[in-house]
Amino acid sequence: MTHLDLTVDAVTLTEDLVNIASVSGDEQEIADAVETALAALPHLKVRRFGNTVVARTEQGHAERVVVAGHLDTVPLNDNLPARRDEENLHGLGSCDMKGGCAVALRLAATMPVTNRDLTFVFYDCEEVEAERNGLKLLSESNPELLEADFAILMEPSDGVVEAGCQGTMRVDVVTRGERAHSARAWMGTNAIHGAAEVLARLNAYEPRRPVIDGLEYHEGLNAVFVTGGVAGNVLPDQCTVSVNYRFAPDRSEEEALAHMHEVFDGFEFEVSDSAPSAMPGLGVPAAAAFVEAVGGEVNPKFGWTDVARFSTLGVPAVNYGPGNPHLAHKQEEFVPLAQIRHVEERLRAWLEPSVR
């Protein structure tokens, strides 16, 4: 069994985690190592759900904070084992998000006494379809374990707070025609040509840029797939344009769907994927105190993260972790050593018993 030493520094622990391959669906080895290391700590109550590990303190504080991170990575791309130079740690998952998991594990192991009770969640299958997501499954089977005043998702955020997240919806817009031999095109109707109006509407679309809690979000509406065609000599009778809508936190999924009906009025479409947004929630005292404690800088989160799951549970949450989110999933992903140390230092200072 792989052994994790949680007494090493966070950079070394990040390297150790990166060197445990944990592509989505294959997290047992890393989950075993995390569970074993945490279970040896008497100040934590540890439970396992599949390949999701939950560790809680029970100090009797009035406030509880969830610190969460996913253990899985996207598939390998000739980027293991880890490689470290003077400034960065390179390797699969180093940025997304084993640097953040290492920081959380260090806090769990080396801070038996804190000024808030803590729930640490290390979960599986974040990088794949939602129905397999370990945090989602935990929220359905044991939602009481995620009850808290505030949550921190250790997603890469360049070492500054990223608040909320935009929702995402994918709709499949369908145009229909009539098959005919391409030599006698006037005998049919080309469904692919019919999709020109769909693309024209997308090209002309002006995305909203609403300001929420002082943060400017930037919506997006883009075609991501176009499918159609029967044979090289046949006019297609159907074409599908898959469109991804990234909507700001001030819109619900229902409002996002209503907007899609406005944009594609007159066209047939169906929703193929949808996930809610999450409001920044910076006015909540716990969130405001955290932002102040870690430097006061806040950016909007344009992508979707599991902060939305906490939002649906009524728990305000932010993204805060080492690593540039633009490097996530890239072959050359890396995490700056200084950011790992910086994030750990800020969180440690925020959780010290003398700090309120």
Antiparallel, parallel or unpaired: β 215-216 and 211-212 = antiparallel
- Average the pLDDT over 317-324 and give the result: 95
Query: Span 167-275: which CATH code?
Result: 3.30.70.360
- Just list the catalytic residues: 72, 126
Q: How confident is the model at residue 318 (pLDDT cuts 50, 70, 90)?
A: very high
pLDDT digits (tens, 9 = 90+) for 110-135: 999 999 999 999 999 999 888 899 99
CA quadruple 300, 305, 311, 315: dihedral sign: negative
Cα–Cα distances (Å) from 296 to 131, 289, 302, in that order, read 35, 9, 19
- CB burial class (10 A; 0-12, 13-18, 19+) of residue 87? exposed
Measure the CA–CA gap between 138 and 149, rounded to whole angstroms. Answer: 18
> Which run of H or of E encompasses 245?
strand 238-247
What type of residue is 280?
P
pLDDT the model gives residue 281? 81
The per-residue pLDDT for 356 is 47
Task: Assess whether pLDDT exceeds 80 at residue 355.
Answer: no
Digit-coded pLDDT (tens) for 246-304: 999 999 999 999 999 999 999 999 999 898 999 888 888 878 889 988 988 899 998 88
Over residues 76-104, the pLDDT tens digits come to: 999 999 999 999 999 999 999 999 999 99
CA–CA separation, 110 vs 103, rounded Å?
11
The residues, ordered by sequence, that sit 6+ positions from 354 with a Cβ below 8 Å of its Cβ are 115
Pick the CATH number of 10-164+278-351 from 1.20.140.10, 3.30.450.190, 3.40.630.10, 3.20.20.10: 3.40.630.10
- What pLDDT is recorded for position 322? 97
Over residues 37-58, the pLDDT tens digits come to 999 999 999 999 999 999 999 9
3-state secondary structure of 192: helix
For the chain, give the mean pLDDT.
95
Domain ranges of the chain: 10-164+278-351, 167-275
Model pLDDT for residues 170-206, shown as the tens digit of each residue: 999 999 999 999 999 999 999 999 999 999 999 999 9
